Every structure is written in structure tokens, then in C-alpha cells.
Amino acid sequence: MTTLFISDLHLDDRRPQITELFLHFLATEARQADALYILGDLFEFWSGDDISNPLNDSVQDGLKALTASGVKCFLVKGNRDFLVSKRFAKRTGMTILGDYTAINLDGQNVLIAHGDTFCTLDEKYQAFRTAVNIPWRQKLFTALPIFVREAIADKIRGKSKAGNQQKSMNIMDVTESEVINKMLEFKCDTLIHGHTHKPNIHDVALSANKQGKRIVLGDWFDQGSVLVWNEGKYDLQQRAFLTK
């Protein structure tokens, strides 16, 4: 039973080699897995499921081919793609999960999340997240004409100066106490998340005599990052771009 985890691809038509690597991954390695979990920020931005362009369409077709081949595919929405919705799920055959989901992998309880919700010290961001995750606001925004939505998105992207260079991303790291609270709440000894773009495997002191693990997935700016979970063992691996 092989389960794959990826996140923070930030797919953008300005970085075609990441899309090329991802579509290749979907058509090859991912086909051999039992399930693929995409833990957020699949896209650099997403202003609604109704927006058709070569990037959005090729990625959705690639995901659909994967799920049609029998591989279960799940999406946890990140701060970049929180507007991904039912139409995307239907078109790709993916299942959209909530902010926190406990899954059972080879008998182990594992908590999965994008990771932005653990960055409690980044108050400005948390305010942004709360503001745009109000359902009536999302309905209103996605009811706007596409050109208006894209103009607002460009403005917000500019303001958040997230830019498209990973090094310019100054994102706060997770708050340890928030991580521990959530792992205890969901009774999971292992947490897998993305968002911080700092791939690593950390020990978490869940209690005086209980150690947990926090596995952080890497972004796909300079190369792919895949967590391969197989028969209770996991390995955080890189995938080189196909073209230089």
C-alpha cells in the first residue's frame, strides 16, 4: 500500500517546468500508488472553478486521468487555492478534504493539513484567511466577472508580495503549541503538512512520555518534493525537473 503526499507546487504559467514535472508525475509514478494526497497550494492562485486556461485545463485533465486509472486522489485546500470547489472536484474525480483530516496509514493515525492554520503568530494572514473563507464572500467573489476577479487577484497577489520566488517568501513558521493541540485533539502521533516550504521531519513532544513526528513537505520551486509512505515506513524525497 503506497500513499504519496505533495504540496506547495504553486503551479503558475510563469513556471512551466513545474507543471511539466507534475503532469509527468501524474502520468507515471502516481499511477503506481494507491492514493495521492495534495496538501494545498497546488496552484499559485485560483479565482474560481469556472476559469478555463491551458494551465488549469491541463492540470485538471491530468488529475482526472489519474483518478480514472483507479488511484484515489485527495485535496486539502491551501491559502492559494481556497476557492477550489465542487466543480473542480467533479471534473478531476478528486475528494476535497477539510482543514484537518485524520487518516489511517498501515494502522497509524496520521493528521494531514495544509499548515497555514498552525501559523497562529501571523495575525495579518490569519485575518486574511478568516475574511476570505466566509461562504457568502466566496459566493459574491466568484459571481463577479472573471476579468474583475483576476484584477482583484493580481492586486492581492501584488500586495501579499508573495512574488513567485520562494526565497522572497517570508512566511512565519508553525506555532508548536498549536501543532501539539491539534495532534492531541485528533489523537494522531504523526502530522504531515506543507505551507512553510521548509521540508523536514521534526520530533514533537506530545506529552511527557509521548513523542510524535511532524513531517513538512517541500515546495516545488527548484525541484519536486514527494513523501512516499509504504508499509509503515516513510521517506521525504526530491524529484528533479525534467528539463533544465
Interacting residues of 105 by C-beta distance below 8 A, sequence separation 6+: 1, 3, 229, 232
Residue 177 C-alpha cell reads as 503549541
149 three-state secondary structure:
helix
| Four-CA torsion 74, 80, 86, 90, nearest 10 degrees | -50
Of the residues 83, 110, 191, 215, which one makes contact with ligand U2V according to CB under 6 A: 83
Q: With CB under 6 A as the contact rule, which of the stretches 54-62, 92-100, 156-164, 225-233 interacts with ligand U2V? A: 156-164
12 is in an annotated binding site: no
139 is in an annotated binding site: no
Interaction of residue 79 with ligand U2V, rule CB under 6 A: yes
Distances 126 to 43, 90, 120, 237 between C-alpha atoms, Å: 20, 29, 7, 30
Interacting residues of 147 by C-beta distance below 8 A, sequence separation 6+: none
197 is in an annotated binding site: yes
Provide the angle, in degrees to the nearest 10, between the axes of the packed helices 123-132 and 135-143: 70
79 is in an annotated binding site: yes
80 is in an annotated binding site: yes
Per rule CB under 6 A, count of chain residues that contact ligand U2V: 21
List the interface residues with ligand U2V, window 87-146 (CB under 6 A): 125, 132, 137-138, 141
Q: Binding string to ligand U2V for residues 14 to 43, with x set by CB under 6 A, is what?
A: ---------------------------x--
227 three-state secondary structure:
strand
Shortest separation between residue 48's beta carbon and ligand U2V, angstroms = 8
Of the residues 160, 166, 223, 230, which one makes contact with ligand U2V according to CB under 6 A: 160
Shortest separation between residue 185's beta carbon and ligand U2V, angstroms = 23
- Residue 153: closest CA among 229, 51, 62: 51
Q: What is the Cα–Cα distance from 64 to 44, expressed in whole angstroms?
A: 20
Considering just the CA atoms, what is the radius of gyration of the chain in Å? 17
Q: With CB under 6 A as the contact rule, which of the stretches 17-25, 54-62, 152-160, 182-190 interacts with ligand U2V? A: 152-160
Interacting residues of 136 by C-beta distance below 8 A, sequence separation 6+: none
149 is in an annotated binding site: no
Q: With CB under 6 A as the contact rule, which of the stretches 11-19, 78-86, 101-109, 181-189 interacts with ligand U2V? A: 78-86
Interaction of residue 201 with ligand U2V, rule CB under 6 A: no
Which positions touch ligand U2V (CB under 6 A)?
A: 41, 45-47, 79-80, 83, 125, 132, 137-138, 141, 152-153, 156-157, 160, 162, 169, 171, 195
Annotated binding residues for Mn(2+), as ranges?
8, 10, 41, 79, 114, 195, 197
Annotated binding site for substrate: 79-80, 122, 160, 164, 167, 195
